[in-house]
Amino acid sequence: MPKKPPNILFFGVDSLRRDHLSGYGYRRLTSPQIDRCARDGTLFLNHFSPSIPTTPAYASMLTGMDCFGTDVVALRHQGGLGGHVQTLAEVLGEHGYNTTCVGFTGNPSSRGFQKYLDYSGWGANATGRSPKAENLNAVAIPELRRLAAEDQPFLLFLRHMDPHSPYLPPPPFERAFYGGDEFDPAKKTMEPVYAFKPFADYLRSWIPEGCTDHEYVEAQYDGAVAYMDACIGNLLTALAALGLEEDTLVVITADHGETLYEHDCYFDHHGLYECTLVVPLILRFPGRVPTDRRIADMTLISDIMPTVLDLVGIRRTKIPFTGRNLGPWLRGREQPRITEFYITEATWMRKHGWRTPEWKLIHALEPDFHFKPEVELYNLIKDPLELHNVAEQEPGVVAMLEARMQAWIARREKETGRTNPMYTNLNWHGHGGGPFQTSQQAYDTMHIGGARQAQALQAKR
């Protein structure tokens, strides 16, 4: 009897910063379970999600296409995913896979799964804390057992909502990385956070009243990562107990990172800075993915789908992926490398840009609610934290990068037969009336509100 094709256990984590995982060198031990998985597989050191936030990022992750291919760039994407693309779930379903999606119902990027399961991934319970990852496991582990008992191979896709805000990890994780006094009146670092009116109501809805120390909030984020990591360990243990470790490809990645107390983008994931664009990617598959290997070459989120299909033996599709298949690379064969790419965001601001190993250009397509300049330029080698905008000092570099970006846009528009979606999504903010004319208009208009409104926005309501 022929052996059943491999299974896929896919962790698509929302808002996970690569540089806050201990396996990527973070000073805090936040991710021992993920780190162990990486030692048993391959870790990609420079993996990027070029089009943020959630909706375009997952669209690229689950189709193998860039934003020109998906035609999705905005959080508030109007309509479904276009019929010109196929999702990972759709392709696997055609090849006899059972496909289940946990925690992603209703998002355009989740099209094609045979079964959808939800869990409580937002607000606090009676303790004031939010056991999101345990809620996910309560749904996912029984489903894993059900899928394991079937004759068909499976794709189980898990959209983790830790460490997405609100950062409310349960005990003991809420104090694991903070031993100070978050209410110390001598500390003033939360004053600019509360003064930023578009986010103030939402942040006050879950940050303890009277908190004065931003390091406490950052520690809650790290606690949420550690809590999620422990729960991922439970799922991997369940996989092993079912005898499926050798027959299952495990993928751990994220849709985007998170901006904590940087760039005025407090505790959110907007802004085309490295903390939001750089995400983890770990692949584990005994016998097919090298163990304890770290790949430093640049990879993109659109590379995931063609790579997954290759690793489970589906190597002939008619899909003209824009992402690269990294499978031959994992088998020791040279692959074409990328060194620069187009970046976009349409979350709370509409911007695009161009990133090279040395430079990052960010060009606002309309005034933003942070009152930032239209053009930003950062030298990523001399200024890796992107603290010094040198656009005025380096006009030649700005012109060079702008020309490269425009040439890429023209090429992709010609290849797809569609206008750059960054130019056509003028109601990206959901308020009508077209682009903002001033930063003050954007500041006065954009407002998250409370936690319920934020949840509804994520759910596309």
pLDDT in tens, 36-82: 999 999 999 999 999 999 999 999 999 999 999 999 999 999 888 88
pLDDT of residue 461: 44
Instruction: Give span(s): CATH 3.40.720.10, the chain.
Output: 7-330
E-strand spans in 340-400? Answer: 341-346, 350-355, 359-364, 375-379
- Cα separation of 344 and 340, whole Å? 13
**Element containing residue 248 per DSSP (H, E):** strand 248-254
Query: How many Cβ atoms are within 10 Å of 196's Cβ, its own excluded?
Result: 15
Decide the pairing of beta strands 278-284 and 248-254: antiparallel
Question: Which residues of the chain register pLDDT less than 70?
Answer: 1-2, 449-461
pLDDT of residue 123: 77
Nearest to 60 by CA among 46, 81, 45, 44: 81
CATH number for the region 341-458 comes to 3.30.1120.10
pTM above 0.85, yes or no: yes
Percent helix, strand and coil across the chain, each rounded to 5?
35, 15, 50
- Cα separation of 383 and 262, whole Å? 14
Query: How many Cβ atoms are within 10 Å of 176's Cβ, its own excluded?
Result: 18
Signed CA dihedral, 356, 360, 361, 362: sign only: positive
What secondary structure letter does DSSP report for 47?
E
Encoded amino acid at 312, one letter: V
Instruction: Give span(s): CATH 3.30.1120.10, the chain.
Output: 341-458
Domain 7-330 classification at class level: alpha beta
Dig out the tokens for 310 from the structure.
Answer: 């290759």
pLDDT of residue 106: 78
Beta bridge partners of 376: 362
pLDDT of residue 2: 58
193 Cβ contact list (under 8 Å, min separation 6): 199, 200, 203, 214, 261, 266, 267
User: How many CA atoms lie less than 13 Å away from 339 in the CB half-sphere?
Assistant: 4
